[in-house]
Amino acid sequence: MRITPLYDRGVIRRLDAETTHRGIVILDSAVGTPNRSKVLATGVGALLDGGETRPLTVGNRVLFASTAGIDTKLNGETYPIVRESKIHAVIEDAQTQEKAA
């Protein structure tokens, strides 16, 4: 089965909890902690004032509020569908930034 989000929505996959360099596990279930996710599919994008659209980018790692969007099950796995406006930030890989510098 395939799912295509509409307009400014994206289908995302929650990423596993991250561990700090000192071995502390950062749980996404902590109150107020945004979920780390990867964008899997996008709609055509948000409609801008000039009539153009701006889609999310597939493959980006993002942070979103745990209360944002709706969860849908596909092939036994749960995927949130979230509006672009509910995504707080794009996570850039620190290693990629260091190589670029």
Give residue 58's pLDDT. 92
Give residue 40's pLDDT. 93
Distance CA 50, CA 24 (A): 46
Give residue 29's pLDDT. 53
Helix (H, G, I), strand (E, B) or coil at 90: strand
97: pLDDT strictly greater than 50: no
> Per residue in 8-67, pLDDT tens?
999 998 886 555 556 665 555 554 556 788 999 999 988 889 988 888 889 999 988 877
CA angle centred on 64, ends 63 and 69, rounded to 5°: 150
Domain assignments of the chain as residue spans, ordered by start: 9-100
What CATH number has the domain spanning 9-100? Answer: 2.30.33.40
Phi then psi for 53, rounded to 5 degrees? Answer: -115, 155
Phi then psi for 19, rounded to 5 degrees? Answer: -115, 135
| Cβ 71 vs Cβ 12: under 8 Å | no
CA dihedral 65, 50, 43, 83 (to 10 degrees): 20
Tell me the pTM: 0.69
